[in-house]
Structure 1
Amino acid sequence: MCEPAEDLYAVLGASPSDSLQQLRHRYQQLARQNHPDRLVGQSPSEAAAALQTFLQVDAAWRILSDGASRRRYDLQRRAQELKQDWPEDSTLRLEDLTWDPGECLYTHCCRCGGVFRVSQEEVEEEVEEEEQQLPEERQRGGVVVCCDSCSLSVYVTWLSHSRHFRDSPA
Structure 2
Amino acid sequence: MSPGVLFGMCEAEKKDLYAVLGASPSDSVQQLRHRYQQLALQYHPDRLRGECSSEAESGVKTFLEVDAAWRILSDQNTRRQYDLQRRAQELKQDWPVDSTVCLEDMTWDQDECVFTYCCRCGGGFSVSEEEVEEETQRRQQDDEEEGTVEGQNRGVVVCCDTCSLSVYVTWSLHRKTPTSKWQQ
**TM-score normalised to structure 1 length:** 0.49
Specify which structure has the higher proportion of helix: 2
**TM-score normalised to structure 2 length:** 0.46
Bigger radius of gyration: 1
